[in-house]
Structure 1
């Protein structure tokens, strides 16, 4: 009997000790698209998240209330599925008790996850979701990227002023919030500039045959084709457009940002343009440090998702230390008080919302690589 009591006492003390150690950890969740239609996005986000957390832990952890505390990262796969993204958000918030959540990245996943985060009063930062609905009307949801209304205007201006196009055609995924939103903003902005959108064609996520839409587009002889679609879809769309006789320039948005688009599209991608968040070939000193560290660790140049994820963690780490607390409400308040943050993707200015004002860049695909072409500030 005494041995049993002694054993129970030892176990109780051990559990208590483990509880204290666990309580010192700062638990952060990553809600990422590790599988599904855009796995490269999730992998880039995961890589940058691990790098950011390892760096801060190597320095002793985050300084909170005078004490260095380690960060524990919980990574969950949302499978690029809106319903699963929402379920992952619920798990991270209610089961894992994270102090904040980074991601999702794709707007179609970020919007439902943001609804969960807002209702649970848990800070969320999406690295890559540009759709305005992600943060609209929300106090706890932030982003590290510009928004589609800004990006749509940038693309329209670039197409009208730099390419000299007056007749544009658009093909976009009507089932995806991101694609649909930026297509509509481009159309209104291009029209306001004096251009004409001669074709506004749609498809649905998962489609592989775009010949009907592209046949109609080609017949209208547009000056430019705008494809605000994901890297996994665009190469096939361009190849089919070329096969049907379209020979003009093709322009895309930040969803093109993975180098996988060149692997998939090959020569068909040569010379095309897209807007995005940063240009590795004109990196600032801060960005260069990140790029060199990422390349040393993973053997590849980080894409925009990786850079934005790293910035999202940087903002969150700054907020936690400024708050001096791991209370969710205190972290939200600290995030809301960030007026300017200098990260890998540039300087972000916040003006009373979770949406930063920042510069966009235009990249051109040249000799199988992304090259800086120009930039546009808000």
Structure 2
């Protein structure tokens, strides 16, 4: 038998090492490629006041992730598209992001736009998350296993405020709102919840859009002498009229505001009218995770963040967590990892709450994660109640 010479063995060893080195070099560019995450936001349309701060929170999260080394050693690259809150543009933007290699898409625009994006993500099997939208039907109208929602459901927000009312033992209440479609939907939801809990509605008033005063409606509320007033409207101009009339008529019964009052812009347009008003929110500034976020965001951007910034931050961090657990950007593995999310503690939510998707469910905000806060002057103040029970 002919034995291989030492020289030939050395040559073979060099060849193996050379092949391995070439393979590593070939893999390196792919491993160094950034992880692309798409964002569909609204920069000019009706959702802009909400979408832009949510986007800013996601941008901050990406900076923080990249400063720590990215995800699985790869930098995060955000691909941001503006859909102007138009569903027809949303679908085009989604296809553009998929073609650009987005592993995941965050939807930050209005409900119709988010639903339209779902038609694309379902077709292309691209994971999609909306971290701020509160529509109760987002996960039920389209059976899309690639879509999740971590914004607190509108029904959960209402349940929390109703639980607060029960805790305060309010027996006779008034509802005051406006006549926008969303405002009327919110009013009906409050009404149904109050009726189920046996609370008597002694007055129900509507301030029409475009009104210049709410005095006639609030005078009727005063005559009904309720224990508390639920502010069910979602349009800021009409809410300001109601708040102004409430003060000018000298009403003293507690005023309970819905989630619309958690947007800081309210304190600007309703300056001097908010002290003592309570409102439902998803943000507790005293929560340790929220405190760390507030300090870091303020240091980076020079301004203090609020709930909408937190929605975007938590959304991107949840995506990053799923990709990390998936071990890469394979969409099917990322989809499975996101669906398996349990016990993720974010910036938003009451102390002790966490994000997670129960088996077969794609809404991930903790039902007991909402809080009720009180305005102290024109500043959003402390939490006075939490949970929907």
The TM-score normalised by the length of structure 1 is: 0.80
Match of 1:292 in 2: 295
The runs of at least 4 consecutive aligned structure 1 residues that moved more than 6 Å come to none
Question: Which of residues 37, 44, 47 in structure 2 aligns to 1:35?
Answer: 44
Query: Does 96-105 or 194-203 show the bigger shift?
Result: 194-203
Shift of 1:107: 4.1
Distance 1:271 1:163 in 2: 18
Q: Does residue 1:354 correspond to 2:358, yes or no?
A: no
Decide whether aligned partners of structure 1 residues 184 and 263 sit closer, same or farther in structure 2, where only a CA change above 3 A counts: same
Match of 2:387 in 1: 376
For the Cα contact (< 8 Å) 2:186–2:233, is it kept in 1?
A: no
For the Cα contact (< 8 Å) 2:341–2:355, is it kept in 1?
A: no
3-state DSSP of counterpart to 1:330: helix
Shift of 1:365: 0.4
Distance 1:111 1:203 in 2: 30
3-state DSSP of counterpart to 1:75: strand
Match of 1:145 in 2: 151
3-state DSSP of counterpart to 1:55: helix
Match of 1:7 in 2: none
Q: How does 1:211-226 map to 2 (within 5 A)?
A: 211=214, 220-226=224-230
Distance 1:121 1:202 in 2: 44
Shift of 1:57: 1.4
For the Cα contact (< 8 Å) 1:89–1:117, is it kept in 2?
A: no
Question: Which of residues 309, 315, 319 in structure 1 aligns to 2:312?
Answer: 309
Decide whether aligned partners of structure 1 residues 214 and 108 sit closer, same or farther in structure 2, where only a CA change above 3 A counts: farther
Q: How does 1:238-317 map to 2 (within 5 A)?
A: 238-240=243-245, 242=247, 248-280=253-285, 282-284=286-288, 286-317=289-320
CA-to-partner distance for each residue in 1:199-251, whole Å, 9 max, x for gaps? Answer: 555678x7455747667656655443333444744334423555577664332
Q: CA RMSD in A?
A: 3.1
Match of 1:48 in 2: 57
Unaligned runs of at least 5 residues, structure 2:
1-25
3-state DSSP of counterpart to 1:355: coil
How many equivalent residue pairs?
A: 350
Question: Which of residues 109, 123, 128 in structure 1 aligns to 2:127?
Answer: 123
Decide whether aligned partners of structure 1 residues 304 and 173 sit closer, same or farther in structure 2, where only a CA change above 3 A counts: farther
Shift of 1:72: 0.9
Distance 1:52 1:362 in 2: 26
CA-to-partner distance for each residue in 1:39-67, whole Å, 9 max, x for gaps? Answer: 3422321221111111111222211xxxx
Q: How does 1:1-378 map to 2 (within 5 A)?
A: 24-37=33-46, 39-63=48-72, 68-79=73-84, 81-83=85-87, 86-87=90-91, 89-104=93-108, 106-107=110-111, 109-136=113-140, 137-162=143-168, 164-172=170-178, 174-176=180-182, 179-200=183-204, 207=210, 209=212, 211=214, 220-230=224-234, 232-233=236-237, 234-240=239-245, 242=247, 248-280=253-285, 282-284=286-288, 286-346=289-349, 347-352=354-359, 353-356=361-364, 357=366, 358-371=368-381, 372-377=383-388
Decide whether aligned partners of structure 1 residues 24 and 153 sit closer, same or farther in structure 2, where only a CA change above 3 A counts: same
Distance 1:374 1:126 in 2: 26
Distance 2:109 2:287 in 1: 23
Distance 2:121 2:110 in 1: 16
Shift of 1:141: 1.8
Distance 2:203 2:117 in 1: 33
For the Cα contact (< 8 Å) 1:37–1:232, is it kept in 2?
A: no
Decide whether aligned partners of structure 1 residues 154 and 330 sit closer, same or farther in structure 2, where only a CA change above 3 A counts: same
Unaligned runs of at least 5 residues, structure 1:
1-16
Query: Does 41-50 or 263-272 show the bigger shift?
Result: 41-50
3-state DSSP of counterpart to 1:268: coil
